[in-house]
Amino acid sequence: MIQLEGSHILSVNQFDLDTIQTIFSVAQRMQPYALRQRRTRVLDGAILGNLFFEASTRTRVSFSTAFNLLGGHVAETVGSGTSSLSKGESLFDTAKMMATYSDVIAMRHPESFSVQEFAKGSCVPVINGGDGSNEHPTQALLDLFTIEKELKEKNKDINGMNIAMMGDLKYGRTVHSLSKLLSLYKNVTFTLLSPTELQMPQHVIDQVVNAGHKVNIVDKIQGNLEHADILYQTRIQEERFPSQDEANKYRGQFRLNQRVYAQHCHQDTVILHPLPRDSRPEANELNDDLNTNPNLAIFRQADNGLLIRMALFALTLGVDSQLEQHELPVNWYVRK
């Protein structure tokens, strides 16, 4: 169990199982507040520095909403052009400044390890909202949290489950981070389904295998999804392929729609995707006809992201035990 109060959240490598369970248990307690059934003002007056040097509406608004739901204010910076970084300021100097203004900082930046560099200059907790191709730890946590919740609904457990990861496993950082977190559990079977060119990197496979899990590397859907408890779909990035023809050939093999699901998955297979999904016809890795499939969990993932980020704010700022002491009634219309 690591100390979360006053700590930076930079990498999935920071977490052990106890810490993860602590985060998930606080996240679960956030649900009535996220659903507006209850309301807390435990962070009233606190300020989140929400620094998005790279655009990402989903992640940015998820952080800001999580903070607002705990009662705090958000100071937002979007885009690198608006920053002193473009005038040559170091990440260290930017951090010294932003830490003066904020009680906690969420940061996304296009360069790998930039958030870690930034954190060195900050005396307040920094939460990594994605540093280039390196890490996106809150995404990995919300993916894992979603898997745990979805399996629980079906009386299953992460220990012993079968997960299929599909698509671009080489460049998709979310599947790398999720695999590392799953390594902490017992007896997981990984089915890694991708074009040969886009296979999971060997160092991730090694970590999983060394932790005692089973890994199947395959390159087509047929016969490989029927035992999947979880199917984690990703985007195939066509710019990775030598030619458009080749890209089209592969893409056709990894698209998921209601017909493919019915034919190749079992009736309980839960579908995840890191979002956003590309709905343009030339991509279409997750067809809209799955929207009515109750096992499509992608919109519940967004809800869970909010809970995880609320939990991380409460834990790093040490207010997780005080939520109920700062409650006020909800006055307004609550969605059904």
- Taking the least distance from each CB to a copy of itself, the nearer of 65 and 116 is 65
- Taking the least distance from each CB to a copy of itself, the nearer of 98 and 205 is 98
Residue 116 CA to residue 297 CA, distance in Å, equals 31
- Taking the least distance from each CB to a copy of itself, the nearer of 117 and 157 is 117
CB of 120 to a copy of itself, least distance (A): 11
Residue 14 CA to residue 168 CA, distance in Å, equals 25
- Taking the least distance from each CB to a copy of itself, the nearer of 11 and 316 is 316
Torsion, CA 66, CA 307, CA 335, CA 230, rounded to 10: 140
CB of 88 to a copy of itself, least distance (A): 4
Residue 96 CA to residue 109 CA, distance in Å, equals 17
- Taking the least distance from each CB to a copy of itself, the nearer of 81 and 252 is 81
- Taking the least distance from each CB to a copy of itself, the nearer of 2 and 330 is 330
CB of 254 to a copy of itself, least distance (A): 16
Crossing angle for the helix pair 202-210 and 173-182, nearest 10 degrees?
A: 10
Q: Using an 8 Å Cβ cutoff, are 146 and 274 in contact?
A: no
CB of 278 to a copy of itself, least distance (A): 4
Cβ count near 263 (within 10 Å): 11
CB of 93 to a copy of itself, least distance (A): 6
CB of 89 to a copy of itself, least distance (A): 4
- Taking the least distance from each CB to a copy of itself, the nearer of 87 and 203 is 87
CB of 309 to a copy of itself, least distance (A): 11
Torsion, CA 89, CA 92, CA 94, CA 97, rounded to 10: -130
**Beta-bridge mates of residue 333:** none
Q: Using an 8 Å Cβ cutoff, are 230 and 224 in contact?
A: no
314 three-class SS: helix
In the sheet that holds 126-131, the strands lie side by side as 73-78, 47-52, 104-109, 126-131
Side chain identity, residue 201:
P
Cβ count near 145 (within 10 Å): 21
The phi, psi pair for 65, rounded to 5°, reads -65, -45
- Taking the least distance from each CB to a copy of itself, the nearer of 45 and 242 is 45
What does DSSP assign to residue 286?
B
Q: Using an 8 Å Cβ cutoff, are 218 and 253 in contact?
A: no
CB of 305 to a copy of itself, least distance (A): 8
